[in-house]
Copies of this chain bind each other. A is one copy, B any other.
């Protein structure tokens, strides 16, 4: 047998992954994307603890140093706005791989790409956003991006303590996007093209285990939900998942979440190509 043919269009380019917050999934996805295109990677698994940041260096100084060593920076940070500060400082491209409670734009891109691939269209779709809508930056970014398409209808299905915040609701209304809140997952699931489930984020509840336990387990995607869903519809999830989608759903062709994760690779390959070589 022989070598498999793989693109080498980014050969000679070096990407630095500066992760101030652990995220193995996102990091490996970006590093795989770079290497699948023939590029190379400088990696930090936990920049927060193991770097000059611990000695009090500013993010701007770190960026000015790292830009000297690489051609593009992928940054995950625990503070909202950190990616923008890095991008303003750097003379090379900076990709935001999540900045605390702020944004996670490549996730939103891969979500939209997945919907397009799975459903065949974005205009006119009905999407149910389920679970932790207050803390989940992925659903916030997705709602924001869906507003760019026509005749989209969004349903919010979430426990009382983690409802979608008003800023997104106002934004959708201002863009003419129809939305409604519902407590009935079965009814929403029966009408939607996409059921987008999310994890209740325990780490955002602090000491309030009681609130966490109340929120968790209220809306579960299981065989009963699959039964009412349309044949062409899909279940999505940004992962990691706990038990908000039962494991017996995985075998159903409408379970799109692992295909969705794989799409993250393609979206990041495309992004790296465009940022380093242009359109």
Contacts and interface: CB of A to CB of B under 8 A. Distances in A.
Contacts of A16: 28
Interface string A1-26: 10111101111111010000011110
A47 B278 CA distance: 34
A9 B70 CA distance: 19
A69 interface: yes
A90 to B, nearest CB: 12
A180 to B, nearest CB: 30
Contacts of A52: 24-25, 239-240
A16 B14 CA distance: 18
Nearest to A8: B3
Given A22-B50, A24-B47, A44-B24, A1 B265 contact: no
A32 B22 contact: no
Contacts of A277: 1
Closest 8 CB pairs of A and B: A57-B240, A24-B51, A52-B240, A32-B69, A22-B50, A68-B262, A6-B12, A1-B277
